[in-house]
Amino acid sequence: MENHYEYLKLDMSASKEQIDTALAAVGDEDEARVRKIRSIMQNDRFKEEYDNKLIAFLIGGSESAKASSSSKIADAVAKIKALDSGSLHDYYIYMAVLLLVFNFISSLLVSLQVDYVISLLVMIATIVLLYKDWKLLELNNKATFSVWWILFSPVYLFKRANAKGESKRLFAVWIGIIAIFMVCNFLFSSGRAELESAACETVSDIYRTQLHRPGITCKSVAITESNGKNHVGFVELSNGSTRDVTVQEYNDGQIYVTVE
C-alpha cells in the first residue's frame, strides 16, 4: 500500500493547508498520482478511511516482519540444537572448511607470529569438529575407520565419503582449497623473496657508502610483517649480528630501506 504522506514528506497529523501546500510543491511531477492523492486528501470521509487502512497496513507489516525475524532465529537455533541430535549431516565439515579458508586468508595478511597462533587454534578447532563428525558416524554405524584419521583432514574426508557411500565432493573441495592456497602462497612468497633480496643488497650498500664499513655486508633479510607496501623484518649481517629493518616500496618499483 502506497504511503501518500511519505510521498508528500508529511505525517498524518498534517493539516489541510499543509497537505495542499505539499501537493502544490509536487506540481505536475506525476499528474495521475497527484490527482489520486488530492481526491483522497481533500475529502474528509475518504481521508479517514485511507488513514485507517494505512495504519492497519503499517502495523500489520511491522508485525509480519517481527514474526518473520523470530521465525528465522528459531530456525537457526533449531539447526544448532540438531547438530548433536544423532542424525547424519555435513555441518561440522562445512565449519571446518570455513576455518581452513579463514586460516589461509589470514596467513597472507598477518605477521608470522600471529599466523602461527591462528594456525594452531584453527588446527585444534578442526580436530574437534572432525571428532564430533566421527562420533555422529559412530552413532549411525558408519565409523568404519579409525578415529585417529581426524589428525589428517584430507584422508579423513576421503574415508568418510567411502564410509557413507557418497561422492567425494567435500574431499575435492578441501584439496582444491589447499591447491589454490599453495599457488597463491608460492606467488606471494616469490614476490617477497625478490623484495628481501633487493633489500639485502641495499643494506650492504648502506654499510659500504653511508656508514663507511665495507667489511660488513648483508647475509639475508627476513620480512616478518607487512602492511601494504610497508614491511618490517630483520637483517642478518656478515659479522653475525642482526638488526631490525624496515622496507618501503614505491609505485615506480624503487624501495627505501632503513636499518635500526
Nearest to 144 by CA among 134, 154, 153, 155: 134
> Length of the chain in residues, anyone?
260
Which one has a higher pLDDT value, 152 or 186? 152
Which one has a higher pLDDT value, 123 or 253? 123
Residues 234/225, Cβ–Cβ less than 8 Å: no
Nearest to 137 by CA among 121, 119, 155, 156: 156
Q: pLDDT-derived band of residue 126, with 50, 70 and 90 as boundaries?
A: very high
Mean pLDDT of all residues in 44-73: 70
Q: Is 60 exceeded by the pLDDT of residue 48? A: yes
Cβ count near 27 (within 10 Å): 9
For the beta sheet containing 230-237, the strands, ordered from the edge strand earlier in sequence to the opposite edge, are: 218-227, 230-237, 242-249, 255-259
Exposed, middle or buried: residue 134 (CB in 10 Å: 0-12, 13-18, 19+)? buried
The pLDDT tens digits for 173-226 are: 999 999 998 888 777 767 778 888 888 888 888 888 888 888 888 888 888 777
Mean pLDDT of all residues in the chain? 82
| Amino acid (one-letter) located at 203 | V
Q: Write the CB contacts of 36 (distance below 8 Å, at least 6 apart in sequence).
A: none
Nearest to 220 by CA among 248, 190, 198, 205: 198
What is the 8-class DSSP label of residue 23?
H
Phi, psi of 191 (to 5 degrees): -65, -40
| Amino acid (one-letter) located at 75 | D
Residues 176/184, Cβ–Cβ less than 8 Å: no
Mean pLDDT of all residues in 164-173: 91
Residue 245: strand pairing partners: 233, 259
Measured distance CA(36)–CA(2) in Å, rounded: 11
pLDDT reported for residue 100: 92
Residues 260/244, Cβ–Cβ less than 8 Å: yes
Measured distance CA(143)–CA(164) in Å, rounded: 9
